[in-house]
Structure 1
């Protein structure tokens, strides 16, 4: 007899559940958490109550007992409004803590996580690795978008147009007109931004039912996958198929291949590294990225990287069809949620349209679509998104730095015409501690550079993160170490020469090491004051090479 077994079989615990209507028979069944991030704040999550209902019905039919629990719901365009967007990434790490404090604390047997928008997928994966009970993710789907005349309009157009109009450079359609058409229903942003990238990653990792991503929100396909997940999770509990048996080094290589092939969001890198760190695994996602980047070309051109719509990608077979095309470079022996190997799951898969999802021997462009750069400006890492490599964007650049300590200062200088062609725009103080949580300001600066017609004639370097919608010019983000922790980016002066060379995976500050060593970094002042949760985040967040987790991972048993 142990304290754990006494707690699990406590008479008061059983009495609590009887009071909820559970029978004696129910108390012996697998107990499954249905983790729901439903929220009336944002359309990303507004439909999830309906999904939860379907999942719970399927769990009951399969012989389990579902318990619905709620977590933080982070939406970039809603909960990113305050503190210059610091709650966007800052909210990610509330999700695994929410789940731990309910699912692990209640000693439930398994969980199904309803995953939608950008930060719930990594939050759910991090929780799955942390508590390591059988887990499935159900993909919440992407939103419908509309038309203005013959032009398709989605959230990318609205975001870009809003920045341009604010700078006095309106586009073809007014922001008011686009706002009425860009979002026509619940679900995540259309396009291969961070949300659909992460949904595709979940499938590549084997953590959802095969063929789940991407998917139209509230479609029959979405609900079919939800029902299948509800039934399958009960089987996974009896099989003891836990996340750490699925999320192996091979699975993470497969996920990296997926992101590279779809030219997805750079944010996937830190989310995958955070998942690894939560599981206590000795895996370097940045090294995997370099390894897979030399094998995987771009096989799909979905907005914002190309002109294909996410609906076309889904109709061509989606993430499952992409895995089929990638099979020669994947680890097909990894176990996936079905209990089979990935190779077995892919045996019967066909690609619906080989022009939308190309084979490896006929790519849209050579890889990598995303590369890791290092050098004297980024000794640990930095990330550049290249997208479709057709020569339309520069892949090397050298020029004098123009340095900004805040988003507002950078926007004002761009609006005033002070930023010149040939310069490297440096925006610092946007990192994990400096932001805090990297904020969202760098994305606005990049869209402003584009709206000013400077994207092809300048480079942009920041220790902040970028929205998955961002693909403009030559941009190097997430420079680490960040300026606020003493990284070299914090010592750059106006006029210093910066050299970027993607082919050599290099970004260098052309200042003698002894001179740089003698420079004082700017005083430790933060553009965004942080107390409460953000204050705790700024205090505890770990460096980028951990995936920006908040905890010192210890996986000892009680």
Structure 2
């Protein structure tokens, strides 16, 4: 065991003395040391209950012969960070989370890990750490929030964001908005729809890194604590059998993850996180893998914000396992990869079935014959850009419009609120990529305001930044290369023509070769200096982040130093 390095032999008497200062008995010191990584914080509703989840995990570890040690990571609430300078730190926190877990696990020679995330960037950050360290590891999240109810309908956080647009459009008043905001988020947990946090927690099951139920059991159910205890117990089995994350997460299981992603209609942010997880495991991964799977995998669930159902509904309908079983039975996933259950994916899915065909549609009656996400390529995105096509009514749409170009989210949001954006416009928000932002801000505000104004089907939005999992409409993010790296998006001017062809998967600036060449020459003669982009954010952590971060097409992961 790794921990033997700090607790065995005469020379380790000082180390044992410190362990006894923690109140550990000789028996506990002899047991395997298991890191319990909780992202508890009093600031984030998805994480406010994680102390209780961690206690349940530790009980499971002790019941199966381990000694748990709890420690924490940072956790950013994307909802609270949205629409201001705080959002620059959200994606950037993912790397910090992975690094902090590596530091603790290596410094104290832990034998295995239980990872307890909940919200957006914490889930992939913890999985990245698991792949990097390759210690026996298992994930159990805090679980999704229950929906609120308002005016006889289920509501979520995205309902509130879109309601802001209704107020700005004069359709509703502030008193109505206050009543809605007071009802929308009634419990702890990650926000109730298929937003980024819940998308990634569902994908942990498809990748094999979590026990069944992790993605959907509501945060406030006692069943979540039972799952946590079983997770703590199971990590000891993984340690004894020497089953490690890189035995579980392979190119095959990543494709299984993409298939689930497409079937559920998950957040566009998963397209950032899967490459980053693959990168940590030295797995060759290309965005074209997404389209390969998406083209053949039907979308059989339509959860908020694309539909009316929420994660609690999916849980009652059989959960992620029921969806995976349908995909397996119809040849859309491979059942051979190992899972943290100690058996193959096919073996652990054998007894699951759909409990509600209104929530999980049968394969012969999907919402769409293609998956929920699509990667677009073209002269504006030679390395790719992503759209949540599952949230569109017409997935074969061709949209050609006039660009209105903004250097950053703030002026674009102001223009939308001031009703300067009209049907047929293509709002271009640039210099919001991983390096340019820095931090690739998530922009739910502009998309939600457009939706609230009723413009989400008649106005397109293109950015080298990213969108919330709560976004819907003709919103295209992750445009790569980003403007700060000289991507074509940096050459655009207001009035240019943009063509989006969803059927062909193309995103193009409609201009002659001569015009594009001239714009390129003009840009290279007078590029926008990176230090002029949010200079107040170029110091401290974000400055270091900007130096090391790669393109969105590479998951916005750091350059490897070796």
TM-score greater than 0.5 by the shorter chain: yes
Alignment correspondent of 1:550: 558
Distance 1:193 1:536 in 2: 28
Question: Is the counterpart of residue 349 in structure 1 residue 352 in structure 2?
Answer: yes
Distance 1:218 1:240 in 2: 33
Alignment of 1:374-523 (within 5 A): 374-388=377-391, 390-391=393-394, 395-440=397-442, 442-472=443-473, 474-511=474-511, 512=513, 513-520=516-523, 522-523=527-528
Alignment correspondent of 2:343: 340
Query: Which region of structure 1 is more displaced relative to structure 2, 97-106 or 266-275?
Result: 97-106
Contact persistence 1:336–1:342 (CA under 8 A): yes
Contact persistence 1:41–1:78 (CA under 8 A): no
Give the deviation of 1:451 after TM superposition: 3.1
Give the deviation of 1:361 after TM superposition: 2.3
Distance 2:149 2:173 in 1: 15
Query: Which region of structure 1 is more displaced relative to structure 2, 411-420 or 326-335?
Result: 411-420
Alignment correspondent of 1:258: 260
Give the deviation of 1:358 after TM superposition: 1.8
Give the deviation of 1:380 after TM superposition: 0.6
Alignment of 1:1-400 (within 5 A): 9=8, 10-80=12-82, 82-83=84-85, 85-166=87-168, 168-170=170-172, 174-284=176-286, 286-327=287-328, 328-388=331-391, 390-391=393-394, 395-400=397-402
**Equivalent position SS for 1:25:** helix
Give the deviation of 1:166 after TM superposition: 4.5
Distance 1:509 1:235 in 2: 54
Change in 2 beyond 3 A, CA 1:59/1:415: closer
Deviations 1:328-380 (A, max 9, x none): 21110000011111000111112111221123222122213210011111111
Give the deviation of 1:79 after TM superposition: 4.2
Change in 2 beyond 3 A, CA 1:265/1:227: same
Distance 1:78 1:424 in 2: 27
Contact persistence 1:83–1:528 (CA under 8 A): no
Change in 2 beyond 3 A, CA 1:261/1:528: farther
Aligned residues: 548
Distance 1:49 1:437 in 2: 29
Contact persistence 2:166–2:449 (CA under 8 A): yes
Alignment correspondent of 1:526: 533
Distance 1:439 1:278 in 2: 23
**Equivalent position SS for 2:499:** strand
Distance 2:81 2:157 in 1: 16
CA RMSD of aligned residues (A): 2.0
Contact persistence 1:116–1:187 (CA under 8 A): yes
Unaligned runs of 5+ in 2: none
Deviations 1:457-510 (A, max 9, x none): 2211111100000012x2211100110111110110112221111111111112
Give the deviation of 1:163 after TM superposition: 4.0
Distance 1:48 1:522 in 2: 47
Distance 1:103 1:282 in 2: 26
Provide the TM-score with structure 1 as the length reference.
Answer: 0.94
